[in-house]
Each structure stands twice: as C-alpha cells, then as structure tokens.
Amino acid sequence: MKKISTLLLIVTCISLTSITNVFAQTQLNNETPISISIETQVIEGITMIPLRKTLETFGFEFTWHEATKRVDLSKGTLWTSISIDENAYFRQKMAPWALSSAPVILNGHTWVPVEFLSEITSLGVEVENETLKVSQTEPTFHQGFVKDITSDDQGNISFSIVVNMKDEDYTQRIIIHASAKTTIFQVDIKEGDAIKVISPNFSTLSLPPKTPGYIIY
C-alpha cells in the first residue's frame, strides 16, 4: 500500500499542474454552441477557475460588493453569493458547505475551485486529454468512502466508493476509474477517506457499475 500511495501522490501532482485550459460549451438563445478556452490556475495544490470569465459565457450576472469582498451571481431563479477567503458555498437558501478551497483574488480576478461549476451552478464537466470541458449537461455526484484502490504503471487508478467500509456487498458500491489525463485530483486518494466524485450521467450496466471520475475532491 505504501508503493500505491506514492504513485497516487505523483499522479495527483501531474494532474494538477498539467491541466491549463478549460473548454466551455453552451448554447445561448438557440444559437450555435459556443466553445472557448479559459485559463486555469493551480493555487496551493487546488485547480481553480476564474469565476466571471467562465460563467459569463453561460449567461450568469455578477455584482461585486467591495466593502465586504463578496460576489453575488445569478441566472434566472438560481442565486448564490460567495465571500473571498471564506470556504462556504450555497445555492438559494441551502445551508453552506465547504469545497476544496475558499474563493481567492489573484491578479484582480476571483477564482473558485473547479468543482464549483457542478456543485453550485449544476454545469456538467468532462476531462479529456487533460482539458476540462464544461457544458449544460446535468452532472452526477458520487459520495462515500474509498475502498479497494488499484493502480497500474500507466497512471490509471480504480477504486470503489462505499457508504459503509464494512459492507462487502458489491452491488452497493460504484467503481470509479481515474487517470492523470482524464481526472482532476483535488485530494490524494487514500483507503477509508471520505470523498466526492463528479462523473458523467451514465455508468456501465455491470454489478457493481463503473464510471469515469472527472473531478475528485
């Protein structure tokens, strides 16, 4: 397990430093889908995205409150507000929860962890060839404890997510496949850790089901 843990740490470092662009797709006013590339930044080991530059493409509106260092953003009935250096995110009137990092200001722009896209704005994500694609496809979340980690010398990792570490029922788990080229690792993967995974809205029909992990945090 010590050998596997070392490999996982190396894969994590590679994935966080190599992903440099965000590829965003959306369709506005029934027009042709828009494709843009957006710079990302790894800040203290966490992959972050520029908030306004990313979400304005999808029709979000922003209000900056200088006195409180707060940003309000909205689109239709969706509304949320974030405060710089406070790791507390919410939608509508839901109780706030933490993500991989608090919002920060860098070079005059507000940056948030990449999972903000799916967690708060419900945008779908996909990682392909170290590029993050963002779309209006509904994301899928898997949450639980890490179990049965395996890896190979190509940097591919598989593990199960279970609700109960003592439960050996394979029908009550899902297998996540991840790699440096197809996954953003916001945390190191360790046996027994509680994690959350953003995946596509499909999985295999096998038991247990299997699916790619695009963002792990």
Looking at the structure, tell me whether residues 64 and 131 fall in a common domain: yes
The first and second tokens of residue 145, run together, are: 């404890």
Q: Which of 116, 135, 154 is the last residue of a domain?
A: 135
Residues 98, 161, single domain; the answer is no
For residues 110 and 9, state if they share a domain: yes
Do residue 92 and residue 159 come from a single domain?
no
Where is the domain boundary, 87, 119, 135? Answer: 135
Tokens of 197: 């995974």
Nearest to 14 by CA among 124, 156, 146: 156
Assigned token pair, 69: 């260092």
Whole-number pLDDT of residue 148: 95
Q: Do 90 and 39 share a structural domain?
A: yes
Residues 11 and 113 in one domain: yes
The verdict on 13 and 68 lying in the same domain is yes
Task: Tell me how far apart the alpha carbons of residues 81 and 2 are, in angstroms, rounded to a whole number.
Answer: 42
Q: Which pLDDT tens digits describe the chain residue by residue (217 residues)? A: 433 333 333 333 333 344 444 445 444 444 444 445 567 789 999 999 999 989 998 899 999 999 999 999 999 999 999 999 999 999 988 999 999 999 999 999 999 999 999 999 998 888 777 777 888 788 899 999 999 999 999 889 999 999 998 888 888 899 999 998 899 999 999 999 999 999 988 899 989 999 999 999 9
Among 118, 135, 152, the domain boundary falls at: 135
Spatial distance between the Cα atoms of 111 and 107, rounded to a whole number of angstroms: 10
Per-chain mean pLDDT for the chain: 84
Nearest to 18 by CA among 127, 123, 153, 149: 127
Residues 25 and 104 in one domain: yes
Amino acid at 92: Q
Between the CA of residue 71 and those of 62, 66, 67, 111, 177, what are the distances in Å?
7, 9, 11, 11, 35
Residues 21 and 125 in one domain: yes
Torsion of CA 13, 162, 92, 26, to 10 degrees: 60
Residues 116 and 147 placed together within one structural domain of the fold: no
Q: Which two tokens stand for residue 86?
A: 């406070």
121 and 162 share one domain: no
Residue 71: give the domain boundaries: 2-135
Query: Residue 47's CB: how many other CB atoms inside 10 A?
Result: 26
Residue range 44-64, pLDDT digits in tens: 999 999 999 899 988 999 999
Residue 67: which CATH number? 3.30.457.10
For 147-209, give the DSSP string. EEEEE-TTSEEEEEEES-TT---GGGEEEEEEETTT-EESS---TT-EEEEEE-S---SSSS-
What is the count of structural domains for the chain?
A: 2
**CATH number of domain containing 204:** 2.40.50
pLDDT in tens, 6-37: 333 333 333 334 444 444 544 444 444 444 55
Same-domain check for residues 10 and 95? yes
